[in-house]
């Protein structure tokens, strides 16, 4: 059984879209997405420096656009069915929603435009950030984060938790880390997936009336609890709430293992999630699609891991994430 995963903020690097622009149809696709996003995504994906594309208002639309471009090239002529699992980490969940059919591409880009701007504005109110906590006893890590008033914003599995809060709280964590754990500051400009992002959730709630959510045709997993999404409205509820509540990527991986996923492909800008999955889903083959050079191997990988029967999935409550 195949899973397709879509990375989140921090996965972008300067110039990563350049080789994709050599493929037929990609410049036109990116130009269309740029118009919807209100950004020159081609320039940001080929010429802009690291500092520019780290800006939340730029990074999030750029990452979603990259995933949509990769998916269109890679999955052309391959209809999405429940036999394929799709999941995204943080803003990557928007990419996953579009690929799975839960949102149109246009709605996903509209959503990420508002999301990115609102989260950047929320982050400007108070200096906040995020740090990865690697290793340590889980109970001790939780206790230390609580002592410093931090939120476990991302539970990424494999012994990695991302702490989020004010810069002062993160500095205190760096000076007083959990036993046998490393604390690594992340290049993000806010305490995402915490109460600090509540204004962004309000802005997205105001947007929802203009969107047309649909039931996914692929098996779309939720960042809330890893469970398969049932309804389009429920998925939209979850996407809105996601900006101010923790991402449980560990539960998404656990769900994939339970469903019998035999191979995982990560869309561009790829590498971060397959790295996490090598630790969190040990022994499961992964393939990051970083450039067009990976397309032939990815097509063979998809064929190999799409030969299993459709999964049997227990339905969850109407309106659940």
Q: Quick one: 128-185 is in which CATH superfamily?
A: Malonyl-CoA ACP transacylase, ACP-binding (3.30.70.250)
**For 60-114, what is each residue's pLDDT tens digit?**
999 999 999 999 999 988 889 999 999 999 999 999 999 999 999 999 999 999 9
| Residues pairing with 266 in the sheet | 5, 288
- Residue 88 belongs to what H/E stretch? strand 84-88
Contact call for residues 8 and 156 (beta carbons, < 8 A): no
**For 163-179, what is each residue's pLDDT tens digit?**
999 999 999 999 999 99
Residues of the chain with pLDDT under 50: 309-321
- Residue 115: the pLDDT is 97
- Residue 307: the pLDDT is 66
**Total residue length of the chain:** 321
Extents of the domains making up the chain: 2-122+194-305, 128-185
90 is catalytic: yes
Please identify which of the residues 90, 97, 222, 244 carries the catalytic annotation.
Answer: 90
- Residue 319: the pLDDT is 38
Alpha carbons 203 and 205: distance in angstroms, whole number: 5
Please identify which of the residues 193, 196, 305, 320 carries the catalytic annotation.
Answer: 193
- Residue 321: the pLDDT is 38
Q: Under DSSP, is residue 24 helix (H, G, I), strand (E, B) or coil?
A: coil
- Residue 315: the pLDDT is 40
Contact call for residues 241 and 320 (beta carbons, < 8 A): no
222 is catalytic: no
**Domain 2-122+194-305 annotated CATH 3.40.366.10:** yes
């Amino acid at each position: 059984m195949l899973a397709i995963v879509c990375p989140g903020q921090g996965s972008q690097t300067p110039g990563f879209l350049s080789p994709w622009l050599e493929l037929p149809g990609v410049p036109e696709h990116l130009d269309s997405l740029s118009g919807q996003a209100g950004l020159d995504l081609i320039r940001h994906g080929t010429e802009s420096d690291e500092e520019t594309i780290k800006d939340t208002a730029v990074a999030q639309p750029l990452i979603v656009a990259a995933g949509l471009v990769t998916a269109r090239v890679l999955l052309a002529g391959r209809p999405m069915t429940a036999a394929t699992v799709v999941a995204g980490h943080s803003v990557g969940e928007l990419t996953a929603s579009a690929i799975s059919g839960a949102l149109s591409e246009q709605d996903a880009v509209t959503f990420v435009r508002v999301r990115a701007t609102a989260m950047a504005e929320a982050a400007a109110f108070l200096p906040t950030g995020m740090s990865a906590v690697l290793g340590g006893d889980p109970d001790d890590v939780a206790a230390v984060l609580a002592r410093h008033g931090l939120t476990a914003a991302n539970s990424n599995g494999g012994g990695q938790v991302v702490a989020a809060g004010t810069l002062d709280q993160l500095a205190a964590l760096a000076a007083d880390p959990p036993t046998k754990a490393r604390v690594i500051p992340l290049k993000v400009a806010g305490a995402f997936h915490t109460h600090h992002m509540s204004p962004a959730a309000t802005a997205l709630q105001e947007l929802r009336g203009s969107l047309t959510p649909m039931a996914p045709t692929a098996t779309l997993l939720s960042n809330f609890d890893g469970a398969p999404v049932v309804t389009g409205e429920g998925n939209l509820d979850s996407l809105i709430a996601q900006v101010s509540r923790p991402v449980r990527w560990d539960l998404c991986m656990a769900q994939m293992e339970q469903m019998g996923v035999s191979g995982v492909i990560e869309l561009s800008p790829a590498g971060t999630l397959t790295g996490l999955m090598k630790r969190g889903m040990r022994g499961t083959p992964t393939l990051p699609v970083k450039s067009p050079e990976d397309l032939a191997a990815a097509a063979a990988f998809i064929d190999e891991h799409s030969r299993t029967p459709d999964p049997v999935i227990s339905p969850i409550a109407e309106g659940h994430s």
